[in-house]
Structures are given as C-alpha cells and as structure tokens.
Homo-oligomer: A and B are copies of this chain.
Amino acid sequence: MPTTRERRLDVAPSPETAPRTLVQDVYQRLRSDIIYGELKPGKRLRAEHLKGLYNVSGATMREALALLVADALVISREQRGFIVAPVSIADFTDITETRATLEAHAVRMAVRQGDDEWEVNLSGAFHRLSLAEERRAYRQNDDYWEECNKKFHEALVAGFDSPWTRYFLTILYRQSERYRRIALNNAPPERDVHAEHVAIFEAAMARDEVTVGALIEQHIRATLDVILSVETAVVSSNDS
C-alpha cells in the first residue's frame, strides 16, 4: 500500500526538495513508492483509485504521472491508463551496461578535470559512506546507506562538468536502485562492497584514470551478477 510523506522525509530530509506544488509532491511520493517497491511493477495506476490515497484530483494525479513517464518509471498506454514500469532481466542488464559505460567515462573525465573542490567533496562523501558501511553490518534496505552510496557516486562524477551526463546517470541510478530493492530484499550480497568503494576512492584520488574507470565498471556490473545468480523471480504483480 502506497505511502506517505513521513517516510520520504525519513529518507531524504533535504530541504531543497520540499515540493511547493501538489503535483511535485505527488510526483515525489509516487516515485518513492515505485522505487521502494510498494507499487509493484506492472501494477495499474488508476486515477480514481490513487486520487483517494494521495488526496488530489484526477487531473493533478495525471500530471504527476506524466512526469514519471520521463523517468521511465511509469508507462503511459494510450487511452488505457498508466502502469508501473515492468521489470525484466533484459532491462536491468541494459540499465547496468549503459550506466557502466556512461559512469566510467564520467569518472575518467572527472579524474582528468577535477579540481581541489572536487577532491574535498569526494573525500567527505567517501568518509560518510565508510562510516555508514561500518555501522550497517550488512543490513539490507538501509536507507541511510543508500543515500550515502548515491552521494558518493555523485561526488565521483561531479568533477566532470556535463549536466547531460549527470542527468542520464541520475535516471539510471534510480532504475538501478529500484531493481536492488525489488530483487535483493532477502538476499545478502556475497561481496565486500566497502572494499570496492575503497579501491575506487583511492584510484580516483591518485588520478589513475584507467584503473578508476575499470573499477567503476566492475563495481556497477557486480550487482547485476548477484541478481543474475540469485535468480530471484522478478515477477510483475497483477492489478488490484
């Protein structure tokens, strides 16, 4: 069952994301509910049903759904309403490969172009992530760790001044996060993620362009490998 504002604030209390319009608010709540898997892949999103849950009108709900189509988290079928984007192994494979290519390129460029400010922010993001990884003791679905991990990846590519690359990477990261949460709910990772982060961080600070690119690609592909090996049934839910 979809939630809720409180829960989103728990996760990301960033003040700049506080939505000032109902459309923005509903958009963020829906996006969160989809990424968190509370709205299952393939589920129909009927305005009549959702408008009660989110306390807005049908037109407002429609506009929010239109925004989610941009992120490819919702699919619009002409004259037949909206559904949550289905999931598949093929799709996640494509997301992973595309992201690996783009992010590796971005990180290589960041290593080449990043200034002092980039190093400082990256160092900070890495430290916060390290703290979170020591503390979490491999709990799954750790929202705080998820936030730190995202920030670390953002800090890595921040040295590469390309808004378009960052825009695409943001979309792909959200997609990846959804697959992680859906597929790895009960499957602990067999790998030492922290060690991978350490290696990436050190290669970046050493300005080792080739190594950092290779490590990032490997790092991104590792989650796909885990999911493929777990072979968790990636099933769509029916509509309610």
A interface list, Cβ under 8 A from B: 1-9, 13, 19-21, 23-24, 41-42, 59, 62-63, 66-67, 69-72, 75, 78-79, 85-91, 94-95, 97-98, 101-102, 105, 161-165, 167-168, 172, 233-236
Contact = CB atoms under 8 A, between A and B. Distances in A.
B67 A69 contact: yes
Nearest to A13: B78
Nearest to A41: B2
A167 B172 CA distance: 12
A227 to B, nearest CB: 13
A89 B3 contact: yes
A236 B2 contact: yes
Contact of A234 (B1, B13, B75, B162): B1
A78 B19 CA distance: 9
Given A21-B78, A101-B105, A72 B167 contact: yes
Given A78-B21, A164-B95, A165-B98, A8 B67 contact: no
A90 B165 CA distance: 14
A236 B2 CA distance: 7
Contacts of A42: 2
A7 to B, nearest CB: 7
22 contacts: A1-B89, A2-B41, A2-B86, A3-B89, A4-B86, A6-B75, A6-B86, A8-B91, A20-B78, A24-B78, A59-B59, A59-B63, A66-B66, A67-B69, A70-B70, A94-B162, A94-B163, A94-B165, A97-B162, A98-B162, A98-B164, A168-B168
